Amino acid sequence: MSNRAIQECARGMSAKCIVMHLTGNKSDGSYPHDGGDFGRCEALLDRFPELRVRMWEMATVNKYWAALAPRWEEIRAAKDQYKTIQSIVRPIQDADPKVSRLGGGISISFN
């Protein structure tokens, strides 16, 4: 399948990030924030298993992906993917001066 065809199948920013990075294009660094985001990534990886075996490469995108990529299968198996993802990314967000917490579990990132 062509890179373009794969790109057209990606739904959601984090899934698009996977496609862009693993096809050798510049990505925006978006990563899954919750189970919905993760599910869109998984749908992509189910459709294109050749990308799944390369998920370790996502660790080079940014510090968030560096934390998420090696724990992908753990997130996949989790009953509560949101909690698992948050337990991984929250410490990174807390140390990131570009991230501001708005309350109620909402945060915003200023690039």
pLDDT bracket for residue 87 (50, 70, 90): very high
pLDDT bracket for residue 111 (50, 70, 90): low
Average pLDDT, the chain: 88
**HEC per residue, the chain:** CCHHHHHHHCCCHHHHHHHHHHCCCCCCCCCCCCHHHHHHHHHHHHHCHHHHCCHHHHHHCCHHHHHHHHHHHHHHHCCCHHHHHHHHHHHHHHHCCCEEEEECCEEEECC
- CA gap 11, 38 in Å, rounded: 11
pLDDT tens per residue across span 23-50: 999 999 999 999 999 999 999 999 999 9
The pTM (predicted TM-score) of the whole model is: 0.85
